[in-house]
Chain A
């Protein structure tokens, strides 16, 4: 909301402060100022001058030479403007002064334009006469300014006086950010009331008196509200003998500063009252209102209606309409109809000021697809008392501006207005709550400034109707805090029972995941939680894959962000692809983020959110490098058992011969593998990519920080190497499982040291060699121990079809 400070000062006459002081103080008392702009920015040394004589330029057809009286002296100015004549009073910028812009009305240069005396085609010119554009404004805001030429003041303007002042530009426009609870502050009067309280000055609102013509409005119009749930008050007044004309300059200036284009006296009055009172109003041409009757009722499903912007609008039975005896003439609170629009021929005007149901207006505006300034205000829920005040103010202005004649009385169809709210006054409790020592008297003086009255006998604060946001104790405390000053409230730390700060066990496991990944060269990425359903095809998921049942967003930013991800792979592959396309070498990324698995679709309860630890890389490294990172992590979170790897993971997006489920304690806790070349292709990655995904909830369940010292071996170990001929389809994992199972208590470790397929080995076999190490905790092992253990192992291996190599 933009407002000239002069308009606020009109109702806080004693207010005197700099722009910056106003900015700071208002922001600190809760009326946040977003910024401000001086209207006289870059306007320097500009006075009102009167042209006393015009001569042709001796050497230029399009230029004239003017003698201009600027009060104390007369100066010579050369101009090319076509519209000036002798006797005109014009804005003149003197030598060394500044104007805000060029005459073309283009964007204003930040530093303005300096004007210097000089010669134009050999004739001296001591300054410049200005157009409204050069003064930084426009004909929208100054409709009386000529289209192409110098601005002309009315004849009563004082020669030599400050032209900027005379144009009403010695002013500052403030932009406010009004919070949704303070609907009363979407108005000049609301802000003026806050300003008065902030600066502890008197608030002097306009005194509204309407003389009227002695006739009775009921003879002109009747009003029936059928749907009172959506319209709690409807006020109507009538003005006749309307004379459409421009509104006075003071009104035009105030509207213009607020960003509202002046149109004519009637439109300007409704806009002016909306700005001043925060009550949107509507004006109907009464002669177009059939039966001179207003009916307020819901539309019917399927109705259409032409709004005054010429658009056809689709209606439904929840949209409230203003109708006459025959037809619909306006969408309540949103926009009037083409069929009752005011034209310059209007004779009699019906003013409407109503209180509509806020949520209904909000929903209707959304459904119709038309949020107007009026609907934006109505939807916040207005004070019914204000409707009558605003319509009277409009009628007063009709009289003051001699725009017409006001018919006596007001048609007022009003639901019972809720009694004023009372809140107990508890100063000690307020101080306890705020941590302050504000005196009772100071609190009462704050309330008084805000027009909250104090009932001494009941010890209660009475809340005025325009402060519907004040509902209870905490709201009252806030009013005290705001005007006592948030900055004056002390700073303390909570007392009371000490609490232990901590990070959850899950959080600590995630921390280790980050640490291990980073030790291993992976950097942390972050991906969106929503993605495109096309992802499933990119990952070659089968049509019946469980991963395809995803939570769908009903109002996504677009299809590409429409489902909640069920796998972290797309994010990882997309990120790796970004790096690959940017030619980054050897990229390693990891992510800790949720996937969202619906328990049933459509969703009836919240989905299962599972944190996934995802690793991915391309460049240096292979499957086993990734496997190493996985095992490094599992060891660091205390998962001491050896994980096993099941190559029959059946994952469509991974290389069929280079993938495995990670199995821990018989449970699949994740998978790893090389990305299927077709999938890599789908992501435009032209190299091998490796990924691993670990399901953190399962890992958190079996992780532990318990560690026990197992002693350092005192007795020597014995190592035996065996070299085997192994059928090709026997996995090394099976050999290891056999060694582990058969090795007995004295088995310490085993390590693969050679694997070979080729010339010297018989077809269908491979050569595998292991070092097996034995050690006992309590003695030096003897040959017999080793031989027995080895025999068991070899017997077991034999059962797998394995032979010892000679």
Chain B
């Protein structure tokens, strides 16, 4: 019995080692441990063993069985690993083949610039509001201290619907509409489309966008205006951006200023981009004219405020180095896809 057992053990272990595939291995398992397998057959001969020896023999058989099972398991793992390796080796791909992209669309550069401006001001506590594009002459001009026949009306070539209704030439009428609502303090920006009768060329469009800003509160100062716009410029154009305020004139602000930022291409040294000056003009601003406050029902003795207006296209053209404004309204997908 013992010899038989040893022989089976030897034979089976040899077969396991020799098996080249999982199928073969399974055959070995069946031939050794199956119902008609060698070991099972051997156990059938147990009845011939002396009862006193049976536990010992039983133990021996079990030991061999365990040994075979372990060997089977080990070989199985080995074979499986080899198979996996072979599969992986056969599945190598050229990862430099082109990507399969989801075809997503692109946002208009104006919108990207606008969203950036909005994010900055919303972060500073400003509300984004809107006003009509076809606007009353009163809001576009008169309430902004530009009476009929004021020379400033010539500076903005206006599209008229009739004597009382115009296409707004600026987003400033939204200032008046906001103030008239009477809720103070005010911190708002008002982006929107504006119109001027300029012929279309590389730097002009009869329709473009502005972003108006208005802050009204007690004790608002010109220094606050400077600080606010300096922070805006830094966030929009980078931390190192310097800001220059130049006196200017707008009928609805006093004092008024135009604001230049240090050229973000050359850092202010002067380049082709800033026409050698090192500065780029980006917006107009000022302290809200007391007369504008009064006309909108706000007491200029108690409240003061500042306003500013930024040309959205100007920012988009500058930031994205677009050299022709007409591209913004052609909607050529090859242009739009670059943003």
Q: List the interface of chain A (C-beta within 8 A of B).
A: 27-30, 32, 179-182, 358-359, 362-363, 379-380, 432-436, 472-475, 477-478, 481-482, 486-487, 489-504, 506-507, 514, 517-530, 551-557, 561, 564, 575, 578-579, 582, 584, 586-590, 594, 596, 602-603, 606-607, 609
Contact = CB atoms under 8 A, between A and B. Distances in A.
Contacts of B218: 496
Contacts of A556: 159, 197
B77 to A, nearest CB: 38
Which interface residue of A472, A504, A523, A530 has the most chain B CB atoms within 10 A? Answer: A523
Nearest to A31: B247
Interface string B177-218: 000000001010000010101010000001100000001011
A507 B129 CA distance: 9
B222 interface: yes
9 contacts: A489-B222, A496-B185, A498-B125, A503-B122, A507-B128, A579-B332, A590-B105, A596-B133, A606-B165
A556 B149 CA distance: 20
B332 A578 contact: yes
Contacts of B155: 180
B159 A477 contact: no
B20 interface: no
A606 B125 contact: no
A555 B185 contact: no
Contacts of B103: 521, 586
Nearest to B136: A606
Contacts of B223: 434-436, 489-492
A596 B134 contact: yes
A482 B148 CA distance: 29
A358 B151 contact: yes
Contact of B255 (A474, A501, A594, A607): A474
Contacts of B215: 494
A428 to B, nearest CB: 13
A524 B106 contact: yes
B187 to A, nearest CB: 5
B308 interface: no
A475 B220 CA distance: 17
Given A474-B254, A489-B226, A578-B330, A514 B111 contact: yes
A478 B221 contact: no
Contact of B248 (A179, A514, A584): A179
Contacts of B70: none
Interface in B71-128: 103-108, 110-111, 118, 121-128
Interface in B16-66: none
B160 interface: yes
A486 B165 contact: no
Nearest to A381: B151
Contacts of A491: 223, 226-227, 230
B130 to A, nearest CB: 7
Nearest to B221: A435
Contacts of B134: 551, 564, 596, 606-607, 609
Contacts of A602: 162
Contact of B224 (A492, A517, A529): A492
A589 B179 CA distance: 37
A318 to B, nearest CB: 12
B275 to A, nearest CB: 9
A30 B248 CA distance: 6
B302 interface: no
Contact of B107 (A180, A514, A578, A603): A514
B249 A182 contact: yes
A33 to B, nearest CB: 10
B272 interface: no
Given A478-B247, A529-B133, 8 more contacts: A380-B151, A434-B221, A477-B255, A500-B127, A504-B128, A523-B331, A524-B108, A588-B333
Contacts of B247: 28-30, 478, 481-482, 486
B254 A478 contact: yes
B219 A555 contact: no
Contact of B336 (A502, A524, A582): A524
Given A379-B151, A481-B247, A501 B127 contact: yes
Task: Please list the 7 inter-chain residue pairs (A to B) with the smallest Cβ-Cβ separation, ordered nearest first.
Answer: A435-B223, A435-B221, A30-B247, A359-B149, A525-B331, A478-B255, A179-B249
B263 interface: no
A32 B125 contact: no
B226 A518 contact: no
A516 to B, nearest CB: 10
Contact of B222 (A29, A481, A496, A502): A481
B320 to A, nearest CB: 14
A472 B290 contact: yes
Contacts of A594: 133, 193
Interface of B: 103-108, 110-111, 118, 121-130, 132-136, 148-152, 154-155, 159-162, 165, 167, 185, 187, 193, 195, 197, 199, 206-207, 215, 217-224, 226-228, 230-231, 244-249, 251, 254-258, 287, 289-291, 304, 328-334, 336-337
A772 B210 CA distance: 53
A517 B104 CA distance: 8
A521 B104 contact: yes
Contact of B246 (A358, A486, A490): A486
A556 B134 CA distance: 14
A482 B247 CA distance: 7
Contacts of A489: 222-223, 226, 245
A103 B299 CA distance: 67
Given A27-B246, A180-B152, A578-B332, A494 B128 contact: no
A503 B221 contact: no
A575 B331 contact: yes
Contacts of A553: 159-161, 167
A334 to B, nearest CB: 15
B126 A499 contact: yes
A474 B287 contact: yes
Given A27-B246, A179-B249, A556-B159, A434 B222 contact: yes
A520 B246 CA distance: 46
Contacts of A436: 222-223
Nearest to A495: B219
Given A494-B220, A503-B128, A555-B197, A486 B105 contact: no
A435 B332 CA distance: 49
B105 A517 contact: yes
Nearest to B127: A502
B104 A435 contact: no
A575 B118 CA distance: 27
Contact of A28 (B123, B154, B220, B246): B246
A477 B222 CA distance: 10
Contacts of A501: 121-127, 187
Contacts of A507: 128
B28 to A, nearest CB: 44
A499 B305 CA distance: 15
Contacts of B331: 523, 525-527, 575, 578-579, 589
A320 to B, nearest CB: 15
B224 A435 contact: yes
A160 B122 CA distance: 70
B302 to A, nearest CB: 12
B329 A528 contact: yes
Contacts of A589: 331, 333, 336
Contacts of B217: 494, 496-497
B244 A433 contact: no
Contacts of A586: 103
Contact of A503 (B110, B118, B258, B332): B118
Contact of B105 (A28, A520, A526): A520
Given A29-B247, A501-B122, A584 B257 contact: no
B337 A523 contact: yes
Given A475-B254, A517-B105, A579-B332, A493 B110 contact: no
B329 A526 contact: yes
Contacts of B245: 486-487, 489
